[in-house]
Structure 1
Amino acid sequence: MRANGEYEQNTSESNQTQVHPDVVAYVASHMPDQDDLIDVAELFKAFGDLTRAKIICALAQSEMCVSDLSVLLEMNQSAVSHQLRMLKQVRLVKTRRDGKVRYYSLADEHIQKMFQVAFEHIMED
């Protein structure tokens, strides 16, 4: 603002807004459906909890039952079961029954790959 109360017009190139319609149109045509993006956001939200991250790391090594995970994580079985339910809901883990015991494992190899890529990313300098 100038001393006389008038606003200065900023004409510097760095402050000008320029839209590239061809880029916007290209990207818009390649964007996933909103429902799919919501599912991806939910998936990343599941990764965003320390306990669930520990469970995923553990299950990347071996399938485990709730009792094993509870000892490993030093948590009660109810809390571990709650986290496993959430991971199962977003299809990160699957279960297998053997008699009365339910064993948990990663749903597929993609889960381990996503975690591996995340670790590679945080280890970069």
Structure 2
Amino acid sequence: MSRFKPIAANASPPEVELNCTVQHPVDLTSVRQLHRDLLNVEKAQRMAEFFSLLGDANRLRLLSALAIQELCVCDLAAAVKMSESAVSHQLRALRAMRLVSYRKQGRNVFYCLKDSHVLNLYREVAEHLDEDD
């Protein structure tokens, strides 16, 4: 017999103790292995900067447009209803973090996602957010 009671569909989950309630010896072998595989401080800082950059709704909207197709700055500005200057400013930040690349064609500058990693990251997060709980 299960020691857990069924939860009604609209009920809040019961409070769960997330800390160790009983002291036990640390498994040094596991901790050493974990330490070898743990994200180092420098890379963690770079990743934090990366995710911080993506913490802006306007930049995410630009990425969503570029996930569909390559666009020039003027078309991007029209699509997201921002000024070309504001779009260029946001694209500069995205370019600095290597999320987008560009090419010039005459007087126009066309932007696209830098590579499949960026496209996959965008799609995975969007898909995750669309999942039912």
**5+ unaligned residues in a row in structure 2: which ranges?**
1-19
For 1:18 and 1:71, how far apart are their aligned partners in 2? 61
- How many residue pairs were aligned? 113
For 1:25 and 1:33, how far apart are their aligned partners in 2? 14
Q: Which has the higher helix share?
A: 1
**1:63 has 2:64 as partner:** no
**5+ unaligned residues in a row in structure 1: which ranges?**
1-12
Residue 42 (structure 1) shift: 1.6
Matching of residues 84-95 of structure 1 within 5 Å: 84-95=91-102
Identity within the alignment, %:
35
For 1:67 and 1:119, how far apart are their aligned partners in 2? 25
TM-score normalized by structure 2? 0.77
Aligned to 1:83: 90
TM-score normalized by structure 1? 0.82
Residue 18 (structure 1) shift: 4.8
Residue 43 (structure 1) shift: 1.5
Matching of residues 14-33 of structure 1 within 5 Å: 14=21, 16=23, 18-33=25-40
Residue 104 (structure 1) shift: 0.5
1:66-102: CA deviation from partner (whole Å, max 9, x where unpaired): 1111111111111111110000000000010101111
For 2:31 and 2:127, how far apart are their aligned partners in 1? 31
Matching of residues 44-63 of structure 1 within 5 Å: 44-63=51-70
